[in-house]
Homo-oligomer: A and B are copies of this chain.
Amino acid sequence: MVSPHARVWKLAITSNKKRSNQCGVRLTCYYFGVKSNLSAQNGTEPLIAACGDGDMQRFGMMIRLKPGSEVSYRQYHAAVWPEVLQKIRECNIENYSIFFKDNILFSYFEYRGSDVESDFKKMAADPKTQEWWSIMEPMQEPLPTRKKGEWWATMEEVFHLD
């Protein structure tokens, strides 16, 4: 028989993995035998930035679009520069969507690489991507509650069903 303490230990391991943004299949955690999402258990600052299965991490990000920028933002995103798309792919980002409603932009994407920090840095270092961002950023109004170093704010995943 597995003792309850073994399961608490398993939860702690999962927590560490979440903090370093290294989510995987082991993210499914148990607390005294109850399968759950850690961020839903503690009711405090979420530890989780992204969640996924196997080698995939899901991201949900949010930012505001300044009133009056809707048409321009749509036009740019109907014809995103090929170099920008190519860099996104090279950085192991897939199934990437941006949704809009009431001046809120929401992005959803799946990261399938092995080093998300390194890939995000690679994207940020790309001159064409920087040029693209220099046009997008004046249209956007980042959330005051975003984490340090963020432009788009990472959201907390509170539910997932494959």
- A→B interface (CB under 8 Å): 34-37, 39-41, 43, 58, 60, 62, 70-71, 73-75, 77-80, 85, 88-89, 93-102, 104-106, 108, 143, 145, 153-162
CA distance A157 to B146 in the complex (A): 23
Using Cβ atoms and an 8 Å threshold, which residues of chain B touch A145? 101-102
For A71, the closest partner residue in chain B by CB is B43
Using Cβ atoms and an 8 Å threshold, which residues of chain B touch A58? 97
Main secondary structure of the interface of A (DSSP, over half): strand
Using Cβ atoms and an 8 Å threshold, which residues of chain B touch A35? 79
Contact: B97 with A157, CB < 8 Å? Answer: yes
A106: min CB distance to chain B, Å: 5
Contact: A60 with B97, CB < 8 Å? Answer: yes
Using Cβ atoms and an 8 Å threshold, which residues of chain B touch A37? 74, 77-78
Contact: A97 with B102, CB < 8 Å? Answer: no
Contact: A156 with B100, CB < 8 Å? Answer: yes
Using Cβ atoms and an 8 Å threshold, which residues of chain B touch A39? 74
Using Cβ atoms and an 8 Å threshold, which residues of chain B touch A106? 60, 62, 99, 106, 108, 155
CA distance A72 to B144 in the complex (A): 25
